[in-house]
Chain A
Amino acid sequence: MNIIPTIGMETHVELKTNSKMFCRCYVLDTDLPNESLCPTCLGLPGSLPAPNKKAIEFITLLALSTNCSITNEGMFHRKNYFYPDLPKNYQISQFDLPVGTEGSLEIVVDGEFETVEIERVHMEEDTGKSTHIGSGRIDSATSTHLDFNRAGIPLVEVVTKPLIKSSKEAVAYIEELRQLVIDLNISEGKLEKGNLRFDANISVAYEGDKELGTKVEIKNMNSLKSLEKAIEYEISRQTKMLKSKENIIQETRHWDEKKEVTSSMRSKEGSADYRYFSDPDIPNMILSEDFVNTIKATIPVLPSEKRKVFMDSGLSIEDSNNLGKSSNWIGDFYIQVSEITKDSKASFNFITGELQGQLRKLELLSLPNWVTAKNLSEIIILVNNDKISFTSAKEILTKLIEEKLEPEEYAVSNNLIQENDIDEIGKIVLEVIDSNEEVIIRISDGEDKLIGFLVGQIIKLSKGKVNPSVAKELLLKEINS
């Protein structure tokens, strides 16, 4: 019988508000510790929370964009546990009345659409940052240093249903969510900065089993590579255990980046009892229909909608998905270009390959204003019509980024137009055959790779004006006749 894995994801998304969730301290990006604090985020006695309107607008935007139902009368709860990086020793979070419930997110896995079901989207506050001082290993630390700058930064927690089937799907889900929060302009979305941090709940069971296996939680990853490897590792670990009828313990495990294994985290005796109760410092939060409609009106073009537009232009799901991950203007530029060239694949390849590559090399964030859809399309059309070689196209593009020019004019005046006249090319082909008798014999003996050498000779002789594919075709015809 097959063993199949089931994965649920919990993702914390750091919002890019000016101030923190429950106080008006700056959300700072600094290495200086304990610089942005007030009585509230430091948990001083007598301080109170004042929830941030912008954060609520942001989470509503995300909940609506993931097709969630919005809870009209929500609440904030206290989640009680003692930990030094948690200033009040309770986290203000949401429990049974989160902002959004029962949503979904379309993702692309291996060029196919899949849907990830979202269970809930809720608002909470971040904790401070602990640094364990000592030998570097957490269990032999001599002390822990605490910086509370991060404490109180608004986090949206997005929880999926445990219906994800592979590490690939989990990675695609995080990529989609990341793109979504960037397009919604509610988070920086930088994984390396921890703007998105994810936990994966993984279990395995025999196919057809009614119940899920015992779930194991892998905590706090922030790179896609770790996520993929950790899930793979955990699936194989649990699969082996299931096969050999070992008991899988419900626990929290940690992904060891260096050893590439998951290991059990010291777990407290018994299961956690967070004693959730509604925070008496925060009245019930009403998200009125008006409020929700106002937010709805600000939803930008979503990644799934962008994909749809690109697919309608003729691109594959995969290419559409990839193009959606570029800046919006690239996508827009692509659409204009592909409408002129009528060749979506070539336009996609040239823009995402050549154009973006050159811009990256030059560290340019946008196009010079003389590079238009029209003159870029002209280059692509020249290639498509075999008028210039791809090498020439790259050269023209480089020049175009430097200065204003007309691609076709430039190609003509710089002798880049290819010879497509069969008679003319035929003469050169014969000339090359005549002067390479020895090579021709070797080719007839089966040394096929020498054909390329002869094509090279032909192009050289024509000073690069001969279309290589035409040259090759004629050459083979001559040799075989």
Chain B
Amino acid sequence: MTDKIDIKNVAKLAALKLNEDEQQQLEKDLSMIIEHFAALSEMDLPDDKISIHPLGMSLNLAEDIASKSLTHEEALRNAPDSKDGQFVVPPSLD
């Protein structure tokens, strides 16, 4: 497989602003790694049901018992910007 990586699109999806140099370097590095995946990509593997837990354990659900955790102050302590008890960010447009 020789898929070329569309670094601009991938960076957009990952919310990373890359400068020209970074784009070039990363495109080169990633292409090299992706090339290394070719052998795996081409393997013929059975299509069994996948368990995301390495040991295949199944989910244990938690009881619906509410409790208080962070105080309002603790929740906002690390905020880069806040006002009137809310987190503040530049305008989000869509």
Contacts and interface: CB of A to CB of B under 8 A. Distances in A.
Interface of A: 17-19, 23-27, 32-35, 37-39, 42, 50-56, 73, 75, 80, 82-85, 89, 130-132, 134, 138-139, 141-148, 265-268, 270, 273, 275, 278-280, 282-286
Contact of A285 (B15, B58, B90): B58
A254 to B, nearest CB: 10
Nearest to B62: A50
A270 B49 CA distance: 32
A37 B61 contact: no
Interface string B78-94: 00000111111111111
30 contacts: A23-B69, A24-B62, A33-B84, A34-B72, A34-B75, A34-B87, A50-B62, A51-B61, A51-B62, A52-B61, A52-B62, A53-B62, A54-B63, A84-B89, A85-B92, A132-B91, A132-B92, A138-B91, A143-B88, A144-B88, A144-B89, A145-B87, A266-B93, A267-B94, A280-B52, A282-B59, A283-B52, A283-B59, A284-B51, A284-B58
Chain A at the B interface: SS class:
loop
A42 B15 CA distance: 20
Nearest to A130: B92
A143 B61 contact: no
B48 to A, nearest CB: 13
B17 interface: no
A53 B64 contact: yes
B62 to A, nearest CB: 4
Given A145-B83, A266-B93, A286-B59, A25 B69 contact: yes
A54 B52 contact: no
Contacts of B13: 80, 273, 275
Given A34-B72, A145-B84, A285 B59 contact: yes
A51 B88 contact: no
Interface of B: 9, 13, 15, 49-53, 57-59, 61-70, 72, 75-76, 83-94
A284 B59 contact: yes
A283 B89 contact: no
A309 B41 CA distance: 60
B69 A34 contact: no
A35 B72 contact: yes
B17 to A, nearest CB: 12
Given A33-B85, A145-B84, 17 more contacts: A17-B64, A23-B69, A25-B66, A26-B68, A34-B85, A37-B75, A51-B59, A53-B64, A54-B63, A89-B15, A142-B91, A280-B53, A282-B59, A283-B53, A283-B57, A283-B58, A285-B58
A332 to B, nearest CB: 30
Contacts of B63: 53-54
A27 B51 contact: no
A37 B70 CA distance: 6
Contact of A55 (B58, B64, B92): B64
A266 B94 contact: yes
Nearest to A139: B93
Pairs of residues from A and B, 8 with the lowest C-beta to C-beta distance, nearest first: A38-B69, A54-B64, A53-B61, A19-B66, A145-B86, A141-B91, A146-B87, A283-B53
A51 B63 CA distance: 9
A269 to B, nearest CB: 8
B86 A147 contact: yes
B92 A83 contact: yes
B49 A73 contact: yes
B69 A75 contact: no
A55 B90 CA distance: 34
A82 B14 CA distance: 8
Contact of A279 (B52, B85, B93): B52
A265 B64 contact: no
Contacts of B93: 138-139, 141, 266
Contacts of B59: 51, 282-286
B58 A286 contact: yes
B92 A84 contact: yes
Nearest to A82: B15
A17 B50 CA distance: 31
A87 B76 CA distance: 13
A378 B65 CA distance: 49
A340 to B, nearest CB: 43
A32 to B, nearest CB: 7
Given A273-B13, A286-B59, A39 B91 contact: no
A42 B91 contact: no
